[in-house]
Structure 1
Amino acid sequence: MKVLYGALLSCAWACCAVAQTPHLVSGRVTEAGTSVALSDVEVSLPELHLGTVSDSTGRFVLSVPVSGRFVVQFTRLGHESRFMLLHLGQDDPAALDVQLVRRTLELRQAEVIGTQVLAPERVDRSVVQLDPRESTRQGALSLSDAIATLPGVSQLTTGPGISKPVVRGLSGNRVQVNMLGQRFDNQQWQDEHGLGLSDLGIGSVQVIKGPAALQYGSDAVGGVVNVREEAPAPVGTRIQQARLGVFGNTGGISVSYGMRRSGERNWWRLAAGADSHGDYAEGGGQRVLNSRFAQYNAKASYGWRHGRWTHADHVHLSFSQFGFVFDTLARSQEDPRYSRSFAGPHHQVGFVVVGSENVRYGEVTKWTLNAGLNTNRRQEQEGGNTISLDMLLNSASLLAQAATRIGPGTTWTNGVALLAQDNTNFGSRIIVPDAGTLEAGLFSFIRSERERLTVEAGARLDGRHISTRPTRQLNPPASPVAPFDRTWTTVNGSVGLAWQATEKLRFRLNASTGFRSANLAELSSNGLHEGTSRFEIGDPDLDLERVLALELGGAFTVRNWLDLDLSAYRNAFQGFIFLAPTGTEYIGFPVHRFLQQDATLQGGEAGIGVHPEVLPRWELTASYATVRGTRADGQHLPFMPADRVRTDLRYSPKDGAYLRAGVQQVLEQDRPAEFETRTPSYTLLALGAGIRIERQALTWDLAVYGNNLTDARYVDHLSRYKYLGFFDMGRNVGLSLQLTFH
């Protein structure tokens, strides 16, 4: 990897020798309907890590160092984001006249699909977006907790500290996570292994719903979670942010500090944060012993722009601890109410992610080369103050692609993606073997954008090889699971379109395939996992899991006061892999085996936003999501989320201030899998308020919130604590404070 990194730098300096005259992008931003000049509008080109802000007259000037086609986005608190496609050639574009519509909610960024930066209306599939700042104001305990508020997204939880996103009923190795220009892997094959990411330094999170193998390769059968870093500071500025969060239910506290600075040619950022929570209390006030958790993070980035070249390096360090909760309170020694001690049974996870993103803009071709390293150490201490489970996963990835303009509005992209992984056990207890994985993909797709129609189609060839090594405990002479070598190859494709039928109506249609090979646990596990209270046995002969997905969606807008969005989908799986009980026990634990069968998932989402022109400071949003999953034998698939309705009413008495009330209604889940039980319906009430105070050199953002205000005693169908007899979190009241120094 050092040789590769040196080659990248050498190539960078060679390319930098080609100078290019900068383009000046200028204009003025006003409010639609009033023509009032808008200051502090963030004007940015996300693809180039470049931005500025408008002045008191609404005017802005931005120097762009390279030619090409770029999405420029305009964002401002209390206004709807605007996206424009700029063609920067020999001549600078005319001054832009931009109008932003007043909105009370935080608004979205440009979409990122693979390495493409797209305006939302040009995307041919369902993509939802999260603003972490808004989630912080509403008391989200983790990034997964925040993502679960999006339509069609839920979370599989093992208490409030351990959770992973569930996209349209799929999770784990069926949902790929990307950050810092690479795939992020943290042993997500196990139910109680959470996502493990905080919102430190995060600008937005985008969830692509449905298969996305064309751009992302294996494991993206259910969707993709793109974690996007915050943008660099506007050119010529330095921004510092300090944040404090307080959580009443867990006695939790969250603190962070970050600094960003940007010049004409380079930029950098630093950030560090810590989160610490005691045990949570379920509805009614009963404490759940040893459900505590803590996380510590640090990040750094450095980037530069010169000539036709842009470059960014990132590093992310993280360490987390999570207490084990057992099926009887007697197995945990009671200590002070908000104790942070991890002297009892717990697991801890540390990871380091290093990424390098490099882009060169030629006359007609954009070259991208991304490289990354990821090391993940997972340890479990099950009592006696000794480590039992100890796994180290190392990953290295490389993405190289060329996007060539072959006609007006048409781009042909070709590329290769490589991944190498190695898993090694160091502990006394082993549940998956020592193994190495190699993966390679070749892809090609064409994207054509016309005035009202965008079409994209392509294909991808992937190969994946897994080789396990003889591993103590897993492979004794009488073991049903022996070391093996497996190789899979598959071809996938996608075709989709986004059609702006009228100014008010647009449609999207997509047909895609996806795949994944069975993971190490499904292929070769042969042991007890304390976190699941099961003895699991894998099958090394499992075939590829394939999916064909169809999705139809549409959006309708009425005079800027009504927004409707609808999506319907059907996913047909060939060889869906699932864990099933055998009806036998081993040393007192139920034995489960991994099996395979065809399956179907289908469902839909609906969203509505009402912002009346006669009541411009009021906004009502609501969403509904449903999914049904069944195997070919008629049995329901496990961990299918219940239907849910979310409603949020918000009033902004003035710019930067708001009052909100939210209701989440989760219906009964009466379609349990063969080893599940029904889950009753429940309703949660939330209230919140916030204010933003701006001074010349300092901005205050203060928010207070209350979740589950009725202290409802409930459990979600996707809570793994349900079968241990514990309910989910009760009333939680807290606050969030952020100070921004300009």
Structure 2
Amino acid sequence: MRKVLITILLIAVSNVLFAQNQFSGTVKNQDTGEPVFSASVYFPKLEKGTTTDESGHFTIKNLPSGNYKLVISSIGFTSYSKEVTIPTTNIELVLKPSAVEMEEVIVSTPFHQLQSENVMRVERESVSELNKKGAVTLADGISQIPGVENLSTGIGIGKPVIRGLSSNRVLTYTQGVRMENQQFGGEHGLGISSKGIGSVEVIKGPASLLYGSDAIGGVLYLNPEQYAAVGQTNAEFNGDYFSNTLGYQASAMAKTSGENLKFIARGSLAEHSDYKTGNGTRVTNTRFNEKDLKTGIAYQNEKFRSDLRYNFNRSELGIPEEITAQTTSKTLVLPYQQIDNHILSLDNTIYFANSSLNAKFGYQFNNRKEFEDHHDHEEEHGEEHDDHAEEEDHDHEEEHSEEGEELHPALDMELETFNYNIKYNLPKLGKFETIAGIQGMWQDNKNTGEEILIPDAKTVDFGVFATTHLHLKVWNFQAGLRYDTRNVDSETHGEEGETGYMQAVDRSFNSINGAFGAKYQISKNLNARLNLASGFRAPNLAELTSNGAHHGANRYEVGNPELDNEQNFQVDLSLEWRNEHFEAFANAFHNTINDYIYLAPTGERINDDPVYDYVQDDAKLYGGEVGIHIHPHPWDWMHIESSFETVTGKRDDDTYLPLIPANSITNTFRVEFNKGKIIENKYAFIRLKNVFDKENTSTFETRTGGYSLLGAGFGGRIKLNDSEVQVSVNGNNLFDKDYIAHLSRLKTDGIANIGRNIMLSLQWFL
């Protein structure tokens, strides 16, 4: 018995001693030897870090023993990483001054490295920087990243287009889990607020190795807002006003962190009137509102980390049909959508000696409702209405919607999704880092409304993968292989032979995909990346089963239950030159897609709607982005940036693909001053975006004329005792240009995009 007690005591003592592992040291300026205040010292694999104090000192407690990569970064210095062994104490780290923007750790790729060390090029932008450019919504903001555009219906509804691919070909990840909210619909937006999102990462190209089906076009990875630093409690209040829509958004956040336990909560709301075009016309029923709640609680010790996050978002979005009444009212009228999205995620990591096991689980419930004019619903079911009765019904429904009386949705879809992603980071074998894992999804789609776009169905995904990274002095290699299977089992809807009949589908799809990448440091300042990757996408429910009018698109769509997988292969080449005062990059890609699925007009009409069939053909997309960034010495406060992006998409018969963005070039001149007696972090910019004529269109698109949009803004941060206030004013389309973007879904109705918009923002940090 005594031996047992001694053994238990030794285990307890060893745990206590193990928990005392800490890493401490100082960070200094390489040129002057002075301490660097507020530098970030971070272990990406452990997801744990801190910042330096005024003497440049830091301490991180409760660390597991082993070898881990450490990343050190600070504004005005070049970020760098190094391997350290825990336990280690009193280490001295140095940072080299630089006018180049601070590098951050890339989270969307498996090995969590700085972008300069990454084999795959990933675009990263903080949401605060996107907001400085006057973005109205998150979808609007990410379109300012080179190679990314926005497929929009007004300003409230937008979805990302990465190098010409969108909808189910681009995955969106938030809180570490794939977002599922009926992406198949062209008028179905992101459904997530920018408030509470810390940064955006964009993988441009096939990412099936990491994420499975539906990632053949790329991944939009949304990193949630970080918890407070250990021992700190922070709060934030902010508000934005938009002159064009007479709209506002407001948000409040509080977060606190102890040594082990952390908590964060943020509530946001937004409301906008119909937007106004450059010619002064308000586009009827483009008004929208949004309510959003994000909260999280995390626990971490030397062996284990767990992060539980929850996001609820309710968006109510008007569906524009034609320009009629001119009003600045924010009250919803028919037709409109109401989307409720619940996302619950749990991210667990167990740390072993030089290895770790990560398990992410996600549960989502998406409820999409559409409220329509009563007479439209009656006509769809073949019931007779005279003109006078239709007008009365329409007025009556609008009155009910304005008075807030209960309406019954014509369309009511419920999508329930469970995701899991389990990865094991194996111990390093020499210079090899390896990760193996499994991913899966279970999904159930139900309809409770009278209208049906897609039938009730169940979808089950399963994938297994492995990827490895080899780090050498001037070479970095990364390779991986993955197998996926997807089963789609839908129910019959309607009666065979009748309009709207959807036959049951029970199909299984599978694919083996791989990726290989290499990064070569040609010289101190020049590096090259080459990535080869394949990907696949199983056809979605709309493509397999559709048989009915799609009012949002003004057409009758007919699915094809015999559709095959889309399978693609992309070659991506990237060159980057960087020194202290000049940066340049050039990206080129070629993407071949076998069995590309698209809608083609048949020439027939059903109930005055043109009929479109889902068909397949081989396709190819190619293009790229080039850019420069100049910040000349000794005027390090001055920045001159220019970027050009182009993409071309063709079918096998050499005709052009639809919804391919026009070529564009963006030039920006900005100044930044980090220090000041009263106002710090001052900035000002002026930006000119030139969009070229879009002549190469598909057979059922029309050309789009080019246009130029001028934007400008300024801002700064004011210290008030123990708090700070960030003030910014940003304007877009300052010349009030009347224009139509090629990727606007209102283009077919000749409705222009948003005119001049001035955004005033205030943020109060406590």
The equivalent position to 2:80 in structure 1, one of 70, 78, 83, is 83
Q: Shift of the alpha carbon at 1:200?
A: 1.6
The equivalent position to 1:281 in structure 2, one of 263, 272, 276, is 276
Question: 2:366 aligned with 1:376, yes or no?
Answer: yes
Question: 2:747 aligned with 1:722, yes or no?
Answer: yes
Q: Distance in 2 between matches of 1:649 and 1:27?
A: 39
User: Which amino acid is the alignment partner of residue 381 of structure 1?
Assistant: F
After superposing the two structures, state which structure 1 stretch, 675-684 or 113-122, moved more: 113-122
User: Which amino acid is the alignment partner of residue 355 of structure 1?
Assistant: S
Question: What secondary structure, in the 3-state scheme, does the structure 2 residue paired with 1:95 have?
Answer: strand
Question: 2:41 aligned with 1:51, yes or no?
Answer: no
Maintained 8 Å contact 1:644/1:666:
yes
Maintained 8 Å contact 2:62/2:302:
no
Question: 2:119 aligned with 1:96, yes or no?
Answer: no
Q: Shift of the alpha carbon at 1:485?
A: 0.3
Q: Distance in 1 between matches of 2:490 and 2:62?
A: 50
User: Which amino acid is the alignment partner of residue 752 of structure 2?
Assistant: F
User: Which amino acid is the alignment partner of residue 669 of structure 1?
Assistant: K
Q: Distance in 2 between matches of 1:17 and 1:380?
A: 57
Maintained 8 Å contact 2:664/2:692:
yes
1:550-600 Cα distance to aligned partner (Å, 9 max, x none): 111111113x11001111110111000011111111101111111100000
Q: Distance in 2 between matches of 1:147 and 1:478?
A: 40
Question: What secondary structure, in the 3-state scheme, does the structure 2 residue paired with 1:279 have?
Answer: coil
Matches within 5 A, 1:411-426: 411-426=433-448
User: In structure 1, what is the equivalent of residue 642 of structure 2?
Assistant: 622
Question: What secondary structure, in the 3-state scheme, does the structure 2 residue paired with 1:116 have?
Answer: coil
User: In structure 1, what is the equivalent of residue 548 of structure 2?
Assistant: 527
Matches within 5 A, 1:327-476: 328-330=322-324, 334=325, 337-383=327-373, 384=397, 385-472=407-494
1:422-466 Cα distance to aligned partner (Å, 9 max, x none): 100111111111100000001012211223322111110100000
Q: Which runs of 4+ in 1 moved over 6 A?
A: 16-19
Question: What secondary structure, in the 3-state scheme, does the structure 1 residue paired with 2:370 have?
Answer: strand
Maintained 8 Å contact 2:27/2:95:
yes
Q: Distance in 1 between matches of 2:549 and 2:122?
A: 38
Maintained 8 Å contact 2:24/2:89:
no
After superposing the two structures, state which structure 1 stretch, 364-373 or 22-31, moved more: 22-31
Distance 1:283 1:47, change over 3 A: farther
Maintained 8 Å contact 2:318/2:333:
no
Q: Shift of the alpha carbon at 1:41?
A: 2.8
Distance 1:480 1:276, change over 3 A: closer
Distance 1:366 1:260, change over 3 A: same
Tell me the number of residue pairs that the alignment of Structure 1 and Structure 2 aligns.
717
Question: What secondary structure, in the 3-state scheme, does the structure 2 residue paired with 1:652 have?
Answer: strand
Distance 1:570 1:90, change over 3 A: same
User: In structure 1, what is the equivalent of residue 394 of structure 2?
Assistant: none
* Identity %, equivalent residues: 32
User: Which amino acid is the alignment partner of residue 24 of structure 2?
Assistant: S
The equivalent position to 1:487 in structure 2, one of 508, 520, 524, is 508
User: In structure 2, what is the equivalent of residue 663 of structure 1?
Assistant: 688
1:640-680 Cα distance to aligned partner (Å, 9 max, x none): 00111111111124531011101111111111111100011
In our comparison, the structure showing a higher alpha carbon Rg is: 2
Q: Shift of the alpha carbon at 1:68?
A: 4.2
Distance 1:470 1:666, change over 3 A: same
User: In structure 2, what is the equivalent of residue 3 of structure 1?
Assistant: none
* RMSD between superposed Cα atoms in Å: 2.0
Q: Distance in 2 between matches of 1:601 and 1:274?
A: 39
Q: Distance in 2 between matches of 1:219 and 1:64?
A: 39
Question: What secondary structure, in the 3-state scheme, does the structure 2 residue paired with 1:523 have?
Answer: helix
Distance 1:542 1:17, change over 3 A: farther
Q: Distance in 2 between matches of 1:681 and 1:693?
A: 40
User: In structure 1, what is the equivalent of residue 560 of structure 2?
Assistant: 539
Question: 2:582 aligned with 1:565, yes or no?
Answer: no
Question: What secondary structure, in the 3-state scheme, does the structure 1 residue paired with 2:427 have?
Answer: strand
Matches within 5 A, 1:133-172: 133-172=128-167
- Normalising by structure 1, what TM-score? 0.93
Q: Distance in 2 between matches of 1:701 and 1:537?
A: 52
Q: Shift of the alpha carbon at 1:343?
A: 3.2
1:461-488 Cα distance to aligned partner (Å, 9 max, x none): 1000000012247x66676741110001
Q: Shift of the alpha carbon at 1:406?
A: 3.9
The equivalent position to 1:232 in structure 2, one of 227, 241, 247, is 227
User: In structure 2, what is the equivalent of residue 5 of structure 1?
Assistant: none
User: Which amino acid is the alignment partner of residue 709 of structure 2?
Assistant: L
User: In structure 2, what is the equivalent of residue 549 of structure 1?
Assistant: 570
Q: Shift of the alpha carbon at 1:122?
A: 2.0
User: Which amino acid is the alignment partner of residue 626 of structure 1?
Assistant: T
Q: Shift of the alpha carbon at 1:695?
A: 4.2
Maintained 8 Å contact 1:232/1:260:
yes
After superposing the two structures, state which structure 1 stretch, 148-157 or 261-270, moved more: 261-270
User: Which amino acid is the alignment partner of residue 520 of structure 2?
Assistant: W
1:94-128 Cα distance to aligned partner (Å, 9 max, x none): 3212234235x6x4421123443111122222210
User: In structure 1, what is the equivalent of residue 22 of structure 2?
Assistant: 24
User: In structure 1, what is the equivalent of residue 4 of structure 2?
Assistant: none
Q: Distance in 1 between matches of 2:125 and 2:162?
A: 14
Distance 1:390 1:64, change over 3 A: same
Maintained 8 Å contact 1:20/1:308:
no
The equivalent position to 1:309 in structure 2, one of 304, 307, 310, is 304
Maintained 8 Å contact 1:464/1:489:
yes
Q: Shift of the alpha carbon at 1:501?
A: 2.4
User: In structure 2, what is the equivalent of residue 674 of structure 1?
Assistant: 699
Q: Distance in 2 between matches of 1:470 and 1:83?
A: 57
Q: Shift of the alpha carbon at 1:691?
A: 0.7
Maintained 8 Å contact 2:62/2:301:
no
User: In structure 1, what is the equivalent of residue 40 of structure 2?
Assistant: 42
Q: Distance in 1 between matches of 2:67 and 2:528?
A: 24
Q: Shift of the alpha carbon at 1:21?
A: 4.1
Q: Distance in 2 between matches of 1:309 and 1:445?
A: 24
Question: What secondary structure, in the 3-state scheme, does the structure 1 residue paired with 2:91 have?
Answer: coil
Question: 2:638 aligned with 1:650, yes or no?
Answer: no
Question: What secondary structure, in the 3-state scheme, does the structure 2 residue paired with 1:528 have?
Answer: strand
Any stretches of 5+ residues in structure 2 without a counterpart? 1-11, 374-396, 398-406, 676-680
Question: 2:267 aligned with 1:272, yes or no?
Answer: yes
The equivalent position to 2:605 in structure 1, one of 580, 585, 591, is 585
Maintained 8 Å contact 1:123/1:508:
no
- Normalising by structure 2, what TM-score? 0.90
Any stretches of 5+ residues in structure 1 without a counterpart? 1-13
Q: Shift of the alpha carbon at 1:27?
A: 3.9
